[in-house]
Structure 1
Amino acid sequence: MAWTDYSAAPEPGTPLCNARDVQTVLSLAVRTAKGDFPMLVVRTDDGLRAYVNACPHQHLPLDHRGGRILSADRARLMCTAHGARFDVSTGKAIDGAECGLDAVPVAIRDGMVVIDRI
């Protein structure tokens, strides 16, 4: 599913957080007119990446059972509910799930992380 298919998907330009607040992984819920949209914003060597915070296997947040979802080498995100792992730079499934995380395009504008245009 594409992130835009979620009923509460935020519009492009929606501010998410201050870019300085993303040290490793930041879990947040973006409030929209249609409800909360769960997201993860991750700092990688290549910049910031964002994903819908929903494991494609069980549709639970990756941090459902605790906040330790980033591997020690910062290369993988892990679902705390059942252990599926995903590449932090692409969201692709590494093991434990048949499909990857739904990537959300983000940009930094005036120090804020915002939803970018598709």
Structure 2
Amino acid sequence: MINFIDKHYEKITWFILLLGFILLFVANEYLSIALFSYLIIKSIKFRKSIRTTLQKTPRSTIIIYALGMITLIVTMTVIMLYSSRFIQKYSISIPFQYIYIVIILFSSLIFYIWFMDFLVKLWGKKQASN
């Protein structure tokens, strides 16, 4: 199965993206299946680089990134819950809801990358001074 995915990676990826785009407008409740499948296919394709990166990364850095991701998920949940009340109150149209979600997710991704790099550098300086 893994060899099949390695051989037909491009076709499978485009199929999942097309399926996700169709599900976005037809059946939103099944969109998570397409997204999860895309994540699995990507992780199988790049399994060697993921393994080497995890082996080279110190445990403390992995823990910092994991705690940061948990904090990000909690924060994003709170933001989405409170903003959904605002969206329902003013009955904002669906295309603007998707645009809002993309903006929130993209900005949180940029903030997460910047903040985690800052924390890892700060932790590295702290370890070097000890």
TM above 0.5, yes or no, is: no
Normalised by the size of structure 1, how large is the TM-score?
A: 0.25
If asked which structure has higher relative contact order (CA below 8 Å, sep 6+), I would say 1
Higher helix share: 2
